[in-house]
Structure 1
């Protein structure tokens, strides 16, 4: 069942998304060669709690941390750990905030220092694909329009879309209907209506689209161990232009 959100509910999600955006900004300030991924998790946890939010991921189906931190060939759901970030790594940081009963969710993949040109292009095109998908998230379009925009943009560069993992509706629950795939055909799938809040999140691989799950039951990596990029926003379907509820503003301030 799909739960369409009222303007009051959307306001709460937007408020919580500001906490989320600032938590991402704190991670962006500190993510660099020589720091452990576990120390980034601690910073995000403390900020979210001090700001009146609850980390959405911590304890979710037993997940132990506030952030999913996925390095290089890890697609999503990586555990923060004593791993020390190195020059040339790409590090995906996925975070959710539960605030006043509603969740928001976003992800950003960071290049660390001197990343090779092919991998930088992967990050650039995956981020562009996110925004192209969001452009299609308007009343009257179909889910396939969103998915196709993402798929065609990255595939024309020779990259591949992960198919087993999808975006999702979001609200009182972190994961709600509908599923939001990153591949599909224009004009097919759910007809989009005003008030649908969903997390759009392209997961794109440099090599083949095939993935495997590690024995920890969480970590998803590329089968060929080539890099994978992940960008995500929580958005609401509107009549003429989708509204992005989450923000990369605080990350981009650091990067400027």
Structure 2
């Protein structure tokens, strides 16, 4: 069931979205050679506590995970791309770090992810990251009243295909609002003109993620961290958006950084 949000409810989600975006921007600045993933996790715990927000990850126990998740961030490095369990690891020069965060404030949720390259970037890693960002931008652009869900998925797929990257469809975007995961599921591959008709008031998290040379995934022994099956590097970009009569509104837009 899809719950359409009123303009007032969307604005409340926007408040949460600004907070999520601010925290991800802070993590982007903090992520440097030698910084431990656990330090990033504890930074976010403090910021959530300070704001009086609620982590959507803490105690999350979906069917694909290994018991309740007991962290407030997903931090995934290099060939890890989704649901990375923060652990005792010091970032190294050239690492790719994907950071995913979902919180609720006053009962309304926002979810976003950002990938950064630590230290010295390799050209092929920049290209992979750019592909996810462009796919996200075109997916957002397609999220307009009267379009179909397949238009969003097809826009994301087209970018990945142009770059020559394979696409996994096991995990993708999703609806959200009062909870982190609501209908509909939004795959990163689809056919334009097909699927659910988009309406003003829908709130969605779009999240293209790519591995360089495979569409297959494996799970770490921790039961959470998802990696590319062949060890190739990965990247992940995500925004929460609202569909309005005027088009898509990004609720987790990152602050301008200088």
- Shorter-chain-normalised TM-score: which range? over 0.9
* Contact 1:19/1:48 (8 A) holds in 2: no
The equivalent of 2:182 in structure 1 is 176
Give the SS at the match of 1:156.
helix
Q: CA deviation at 1:119?
A: 1.4
1:37 aligns with 2:48: no
Q: TM-score, normalised by structure 2?
A: 0.95
The equivalent of 1:188 in structure 2 is 194
1:133 aligns with 2:139: yes
CA distance in 2, matches of 1:25, 1:152: 28
Residue of 203, 208, 212 corresponding to 1:202? 208
The equivalent of 2:92 in structure 1 is 86
Q: CA deviation at 1:182?
A: 0.8
Q: CA deviation at 1:97?
A: 1.2
Q: Show CA shifts across 1:218-256 (max 9, x none).
A: 11100001011100000011234200011211xx51xx3
Q: Show CA shifts across 1:42-98 (max 9, x none).
A: 001111220121122122111111100000001200011111100010000000111
Residue of 64, 72, 87 corresponding to 2:70? 64
Runs of 4+ with deviation above 3 angstroms: none
Question: Structure 2: which 5+ residue stretches go unaligned?
Answer: 62-67
* Contact 1:137/1:238 (8 A) holds in 2: no
RMSD: 1.0
Give the SS at the match of 1:87.
coil
CA distance in 2, matches of 1:207, 1:239: 39
Q: Show CA shifts across 1:153-203 (max 9, x none).
A: 111111122211011000111100000111011001111011000100001
- Matched residues, number: 252
Q: TM-score, normalised by structure 1?
A: 0.96
* Contact 1:38/1:81 (8 A) holds in 2: yes
CA distance in 2, matches of 1:187, 1:232: 23
The equivalent of 2:235 in structure 1 is 229
